[in-house]
């Protein structure tokens, strides 16, 4: 009866996953970078493909290009990322003046389709029909080449940055140690037991279960982290800037599938152990 219940749960998980794949969430991030490019068109007059490539290559926001468009040399501002890319420091070395600023990052946001981005004297605004101009209270950037959507950069004080950095370091290292222990220790034990002709041991099922859940939890946590960040700064972020959670989860579908498959294998090994035990006690 217990196995029937577990196999029903696994079947339900598989069906839900299939539905998720078939009914792909609308990805609002895809066209979002265009709003930043349109802002560049407005401010610089023309943006050629080579200019856009320059933005992506220097991993910088459009603001730098505006400042340096008359200069022969473009400066690359070094960015320091913290684990999970949640915070960064940004050394702004325009005109050889070094200015370190700290930011909280919300990656992969999308902008409402009828909103425009306006960059005016270094301030970023959103203009939407009916609501007028709203200050974003931060910056928008591409940041990583190939990133979907845009990255919202929220300014934080140096002391806040240090606290967040310390917390994120702890979370990062704890997560890394758990992942390394579970995947290398657990998986190697399972493979060793199988190679020794002992596939149906209770610990094999346990290790596989740990591995499956670790993959699923890490994948979901990675997507939930920006939701948490957004909720902390909700009062500062205009409603037109949204975090498309389901699209991000869809991007991690193969990790989720791997987790579900491994959990299914863990159940199979558990069932196998029960059958093995009965077989061992059959004379």
Partner 1 sequence: MPIVVNLDVMMARRKISLTELSEKLGLTLANVSILKTNKAKAVRFSTLDDICRVLDCQPGDILERVSEEEYKTLLG
What are residue 99's DSSP bridge partners? 92
Q: Residue by residue, what is the 3-state secondary structure of 59-94?
A: CCCHHHHHHHCCCCCCCCCCEEECHHHCEEEEEECH
Residue 95 or 278: the one with the smaller Cβ distance to partner 1 is 278
* Smallest separation (angstroms) from partner 1 to the CB of 218: 40
CB of 283 to partner 1, least distance (A): 5
Residue 202 or 239 with smaller CB distance to partner 1: 202
Instruction: At 208, give phi and psi (nearest 5°).
Output: -65, -40
Q: Nearest distance from residue 279's CB to partner 1, in Å?
A: 9
Binding site for partner 1 (CB under 8 A): 277-278, 281-283
Please identify, using beta-carbon distances, which residue of 48 and 282 lies nearer to partner 1.
282
For partner 1, the closer CB: 195 or 282: 282
Query: How near is the Cβ of 277 to partner 1 at its closest, in Å?
Result: 8
Rank residues 1 and 281 by Cβ distance to partner 1 and give the closer one.
281
Name which of 22 and 281 has its Cβ closer to partner 1. Answer: 281
Cα-based distances in Å from 26 to 29, 72, 124, 137, 250: 9, 42, 26, 27, 10
In the complex, the smallest distance separating the C-beta of residue 282 from partner 1, rounded to whole angstroms, is 4
The per-residue DSSP string of 201-242 comes to -HHHHHHHHHHHHHHHHHHHHHHHHHHHHHHHTTTTS-TTEE
Cβ 259 to partner 1, closest distance in Å? 34
Distance of CA 137 to the CA centre of its chain: 22
Residue 140 contacts residue 151 (beta carbons within 8 Å) = yes
């Amino acid at each position: 009866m217990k196995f029937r219940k577990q196999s029903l749960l696994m079947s339900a998980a598989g069906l839900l996953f299939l539905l998720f794949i078939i009914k792909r969430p609308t990805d609002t991030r895809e066209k979002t970078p265009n709003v930043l490019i349109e802002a560049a068109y407005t401010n610089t007059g023309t943006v050629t493909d080579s200019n856009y490539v320059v933005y992506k290559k220097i991993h910088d926001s459009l603001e730098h290009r505006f400042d340096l468009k008359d200069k022969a040399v473009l400066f690359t501002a070094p960015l320091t990322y913290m684990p999970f890319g949640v915070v960064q420091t940004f050394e702004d070395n325009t005109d050889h003046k070094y200015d370190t600023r700290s930011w909280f990052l919300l990656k992969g946001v999308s902008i409402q389709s009828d909103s425009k981005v306006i960059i005016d004297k270094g301030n970023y605004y959103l203009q939407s029909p009916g609501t007028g101009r709203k200050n974003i209270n931060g910056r928008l950037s591409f940041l990583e080449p190939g990133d979907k959507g845009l990255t919202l950069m929220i300014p934080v004080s140096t002391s806040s940055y240090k606290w967040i950095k310390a917390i994120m370091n702890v979370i990062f290292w704890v997560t890394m140690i758990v992942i390394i222990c579970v995947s290398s220790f657990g998986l190697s034990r399972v493979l060793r037991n199988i190679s020794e002709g002992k596939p149906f041991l209770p610990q094999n099922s346990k290790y596989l279960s740990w591995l499956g859940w670790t993959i699923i939890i890490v994948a979901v946590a990675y997507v939930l982290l920006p939701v948490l960040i957004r909720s902390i700064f909700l009062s500062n972020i205009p409603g037109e800037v949204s975090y498309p959670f389901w699209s991000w989860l869809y991007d991690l579908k193969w990790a989720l599938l791997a987790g579900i498959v491994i959990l299914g294998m863990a159940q199979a090994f558990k069932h196998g152990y029960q059958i093995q035990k009965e077989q061992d006690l059959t004379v």
